[in-house]
A and B are shown apart, each in its own frame.
Chain A
């Protein structure tokens, strides 16, 4: 399994990570090696085995849809990179 710098550009875009030529080259080499390790999984036939997403197959617990916490907007926005009048500020997205 060979991962190319172009693959890295695509993955980095999906993961919202800025990349450049040097970086894509670096990660392509490393991810190729890691995916070779991952390919070892193919030594085992897993057909018919149910996928396991939780260590004990437990279902997530549900709770009543009631308010259990007080609003802490001020505290949470105090640590934001840029917030004003209750809003988080980001670069303009609509022209």
Chain B
């Protein structure tokens, strides 16, 4: 059952091969059987079975008018507020936060008839690239349980890779959808900034955060992305632009499409076996009729320092709301109001979060604001303009998603900088607000998945989805199943 695509599930639910209730129970059983992955923070079995029952009734009465996703289960990243359900964001700070409202994307996916299985584990407040900063413990990568699944959407990635959910939501501030997709052999789509509402998605860095999907194929991902996307008046940066019909454009030929290859993405920093697989994927795309051309992104390497000023600055401001007054953790002992703030925050936030809040407070503080924060914002424009120039010559950009494949748990724990370098190819895409995705492109010598990164022009998810889908029609990397999870 768990091998079927979303379209196949939709068909089976309509033909009566199985009910949503049976399908939902099947996934709940798998989640139970594979608890050691620690992919979920909460499993909402009772809610899920009730939603499945309603979906079954709707499918019996009115199947032709229903969304294709009706009755299909999914997992929600624990960064999205879900009414009446614990929404922890991977933090002790929100260990007791039962959200009083739904995020827009939760509301929309509920309306589409999807069944929520539970909330997935993640790096605390989405700050991390390995899922090791979660207060709820690290998540394991089904391809090799000694390795990390990537982060911050590590729980969503592990769950979909292990077939504990057919698809999952995720969010990406500097690579948090695409890097776990690469590490877990999945398809991960981060749309253009503003495409998907941020309302009810717990904020990390508001000018960079964007919700998206982790799925087994582009076709599956595009279906769910369609249901999530579109204008929302509750998000002041939500786009009013028309959302294209993502699934209808997938089948076009990629003949004549020009793929830009930034020489900066193919340098010494990439592991040899990862680089080989990416070169192979590019040759595959060429054999399908795409043209390739070298482009330059001269400032892309500075995306990391730029990002590690801007993201912490925005985070230190966003996370000031956690004060132990209105919701979340409050310390048991304190001497006065200030002490209550300081104790509650020091107890509620983990190391990485406190580190980033402090970087943010530092670069925004008097005397350093121009040298760091404004400097980084100027650099951000240069990075964005590099992309604009490159896109004058090509329709999309390709490269590796990450410099190497999944690393061993604990390996980068004492070295924040080594951890930050995981996102060297992904975070400049967030700085520019562009759509990006990762698709499986083979395995390295250790048998771990390699991800191919495609970057599109602003608002042009369609081109990268089309190219990635056509690539999946010609390759079977995305169909591989980690051993023990078939």
Number of interface residues of A (CB under 8 A): 52
Task: Among B194, B341, B358, point to the contact of A56 (Cβ < 8 A).
Answer: B194
Q: Is A67 located at the chain interface by the 8 A CB criterion? A: no
Whether A40 contacts B302 by the Cβ 8 Å rule is yes
Cα A50 to Cα B305 with chains together (Å): 18
Min CB–CB distance B338 → chain A (angstroms): 7
Q: Is B346 located at the chain interface by the 8 A CB criterion? A: yes
Task: Among B326, B342, B379, point to the contact of A16 (Cβ < 8 A).
Answer: B342
Q: Is B177 located at the chain interface by the 8 A CB criterion? A: no
Q: Which residue of A lies closest to B365 (CB)?
A: A14
Whether B358 contacts A27 by the Cβ 8 Å rule is yes
Interface size class of B (residues with CB under 8 A): 35 or more
Cα A62 to Cα B416 with chains together (Å): 39
Q: Is B463 located at the chain interface by the 8 A CB criterion? A: no
Whether B357 contacts A17 by the Cβ 8 Å rule is yes
A interface, by DSSP: helix, strand, loop or mixed?
A: loop
Q: Which residues of A contact B339 (CB under 8 A)?
A: 18
Cα A60 to Cα B380 with chains together (Å): 19
Given A40-B302, A88-B326, A90-B325, are A31 and B342 also a contact pair (CB < 8 Å)? no
Q: Which residue of B lies closest to A47 (CB)?
A: B378
Whether B342 contacts A76 by the Cβ 8 Å rule is no
Task: Among A14, A54, A68, A79, point to the contact of B237 (Cβ < 8 A).
Answer: A54
Q: Which residue of B lies closest to A77 (CB)?
A: B326
Task: Mark B residues whose CB is within 8 Å of A.
Answer: 96-98, 100-101, 193-194, 207-208, 233, 236-238, 240, 299, 302, 304-306, 308-309, 316, 320, 323-330, 334, 336-343, 345-347, 349, 354-355, 357-363, 365, 372, 374-382, 384, 416-417, 420, 430-434, 458
Could you name 20 residue pairs across A and B whose Cβ atoms are closer than 8 Å?
A11-B358, A11-B362, A15-B320, A16-B320, A35-B362, A41-B302, A42-B375, A44-B299, A46-B375, A46-B378, A49-B381, A52-B384, A53-B377, A56-B433, A79-B100, A80-B325, A81-B324, A81-B325, A81-B330, A93-B336
